[in-house]
Amino acid sequence: MQSTKQCLAASILDTIGDTPLVALDRLSRGLNGRVLAKIEFFNPGFSIKDRIALQIIEDAERGGLLKPGGRVVELTSGNTGTGLALVCAVKGYRFIAVMSEGNSRERARMMRALGAEVVLVPQVGGSRPGQVSGEDLAEVDRVTSQLAKKLKAFRADQFNNLSNARAHELTTGQEIWEQTGGKVDAFVSTLGTGGTFAGVTAALKKRNPRIKCYAVEPAGAAYLAKGKVTDPNHKIQGTGYAMPLPLVKREWVDGLVTVTDREAIRTARLLAKKEGIFAGFSSGANVAVALRLARRAKHGAVIVTTINDSGLKYLSTDLFPER
Mean pLDDT to the nearest integer, 158-162: 97
The boundaries of the domain holding residue 35 are 12-44+169-314
Say if residue 182 is in the same domain as residue 309. yes
Rg (CA), the chain: 18
Average pLDDT, the chain: 93
Query: Which residue, of 113, 131, 155, is where some domain finishes?
Result: 155
Evaluate whether residue 319 is within a structural domain.
no
Spot the catalytic one: 28, 38, 47, 49: 49
Strands (E), the chain: 21-23, 34-39, 71-75, 94-100, 117-121, 154-155, 186-190, 212-218, 255-259, 302-307
Residue 281: name the closest of 262, 294, 295 by CA: 262
The answer to whether residue 2 sits within a structural domain is no
The CB density around residue 171, as the number of other CB atoms within 10 Å, is 22
The pLDDT of residue 252 is above 80: yes
pLDDT score recorded for residue 323:
74
Q: Is 162 a member of any domain?
A: no
CA atoms within 13 A on the CB side of 42: 18
**Does pLDDT of 16 surpass 80?**
yes
Angle (CA) 100-106-112 rounded to 5° is 80
If pLDDT is split at 50, 70 and 90, which confidence band does 107 have?
confident
Q: How many domains does the chain have?
A: 2
What is the pLDDT at residue 4? 47
N residues, the chain: 323
Q: What percent of the chain has pLDDT over 70?
A: 96
Write the CATH number for 277.
3.40.50.1100
Q: What is the mean pLDDT of residues 177-206?
A: 98
Residue range 118-145, pLDDT digits in tens: 999 988 777 676 666 678 888 999 999 9
Q: Please write the tens of the pLDDT for every residue from 44-72.
A: 999 999 999 999 999 999 999 999 999 99
Q: List C-alpha distances in Å: 230 to 138, 220, 226, 259.
A: 18, 5, 10, 13
Catalytic option among 77, 133, 282, 310: 282
282 catalytic per annotation: yes
Banded pLDDT at 5 (limits 50, 70, 90): low
pLDDT of residue 58: 98
- Three-state SS for 65? coil
Q: How far apart are the first and last CA of the chain?
A: 41
**Domain assignment present for 163:** no
pLDDT confidence of residue 322: 79
Whether 195 and 268 map to the same domain: the answer is yes
Instruction: Please state, in angstroms and rounded to a whole number, the distance separating the CA atoms of residues 126 and 272.
Output: 33
**Residue 228 known to be catalytic:** no
In sequence order, the 6+-apart residues with CB closer than 8 A to the CB of 198 are: 164, 165, 168, 169, 247, 248, 249, 252
Per-residue pLDDT averaged across 260-271, rounded?
97
